[in-house]
């Protein structure tokens, strides 16, 4: 049985990584989580994992201190550090604490798969490509957007709803969707507007607020920039 410990205090990040590992390693794998460094040390001693994914910034005890403690008693234990900050001093600290690798959050699944192959000696074909439809972040965000796209929402509000900082949300979002939050929100609103123009007789001035635009004139400009014609021209043709 493969045992993996994930030390991560961000619930959504923990859920996302756990789900990815579960799909790649199967139901027989033991995948456990810890919400701080001290808990990670205790759980690692109890379950003797084959690999630890360790967040650097955690409450009670950070990941570097936890890794240093574990490295003294289990020097061969592979530890993959995770952090949302691309800083050289973090990378140096991670290696000094006994880390075997260092990944930036939101994690790149291809890099996680590569870590699994290197540390667990898995063959290439046993680590499949990810299915974005199974991404918990995308699922949760999709539900939130369905209920809020017609409102005057901001990136900060979306990040708060997802339980993330604005910085972390922005990075996670670009990784998941390969575009910014504003780009995705605008495209989503335009798709909803197109549906209303095609399927209803609602006046354009009334469609605008239904898809998140208080100013009908500005809505028409955004619509034309994305579709190539104004909302009125689109409906007439």
- Structure confidence by residue, pLDDT tens digits, 197-208: 998 999 999 999
Question: What is the pLDDT, as a whole number, of residue 150?
Answer: 94
Res 125: pLDDT: 47
Q: How many helical (H) and strand (E) elements, i.e. helices and strands, does the chain have?
A: 12, 5
The pLDDT value given to residue 90: 53
Reported in sequence order, the residue ranges of 36-173 that DSSP labels E, i.e. its strands, are 51-55, 79-83, 101-104
| Pairing outcome for strands 51-55 and 3-7 | parallel
Q: Which of 2, 236, 1 is nearest to 119 (CA)?
A: 2
Give the pLDDT confidence score for residue 36 in this predicted structure. 96
Contact (Cβ atoms closer than 8 angstroms) between residue 181 and residue 173: yes
Q: What is the pLDDT of residue 171?
A: 80
- Positive or negative: CA dihedral 40, 171, 156, 153: negative
The residues pairing with 102 across neighbouring beta strands, listed in sequence order, are 81
Name the DSSP letter for residue 55.
E
Which regions in the chain score pLDDT beneath 70? 84-102, 106-108, 123-135
H/E run at residue 109: helix 109-120
**Residue/partner pairs of 182-188 with CB below 8 Å, 24 or more apart:** 182/155, 185/145, 185/149, 185/153, 185/212, 186/222, 186/226, 187/226, 188/145, 188/149
What is the token pair recorded at 61? 């005890």
* pLDDT score for 108: 63
Dihedral (CA of 146, 193, 159, 133) sign: positive
- pLDDT tens digits for range 106-152: 666 777 887 888 888 776 544 444 444 556 778 788 889 999 999 99
């Amino acid at each position: 049985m493969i045992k993996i410990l994930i030390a991560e205090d961000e619930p959504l990040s923990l859920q996302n990584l756990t789900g990815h590992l579960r799909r790649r390693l199967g139901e027989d794998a033991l995948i456990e989580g810890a919400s701080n460094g001290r808990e990670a040390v205790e759980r690692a001693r109890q379950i003797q994992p084959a690999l630890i994914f360790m967040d650097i910034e955690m409450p009670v005890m950070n990941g570097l201190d936890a890794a240093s403690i574990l490295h003294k008693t289990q020097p061969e234990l592979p530890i993959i550090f995770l952090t949302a900050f691309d800083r050289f001093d973090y990378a140096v600290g991670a290696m000094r604490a006994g880390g075997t690798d260092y990944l930036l959050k939101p994690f790149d699944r291809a890099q996680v798969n590569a870590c699994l192959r290197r540390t667990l000696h898995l063959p290439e074909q046993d680590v499949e490509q990810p299915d974005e439809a199974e991404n918990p972040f995308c699922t949760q965000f999709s539900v939130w957007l369905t209920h809020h796209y017609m409102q005057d929402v901001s990136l900060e509000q979306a990040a708060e709803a997802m339980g993330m900082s604005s910085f972390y949300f922005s990075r996670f979002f670009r990784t998941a969707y390969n575009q910014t939050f504003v780009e995705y929100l605008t495209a989503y609103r335009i798709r909803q507007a197109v549906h209303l123009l095609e399927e209803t007789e609602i006046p354009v001035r009334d469609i605008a607020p239904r898809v998140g635009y208080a100013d009908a004139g500005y809505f028409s400009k955004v619509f034309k920039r994305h579709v190539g014609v104004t909302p009125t021209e689109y409906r007439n043709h």
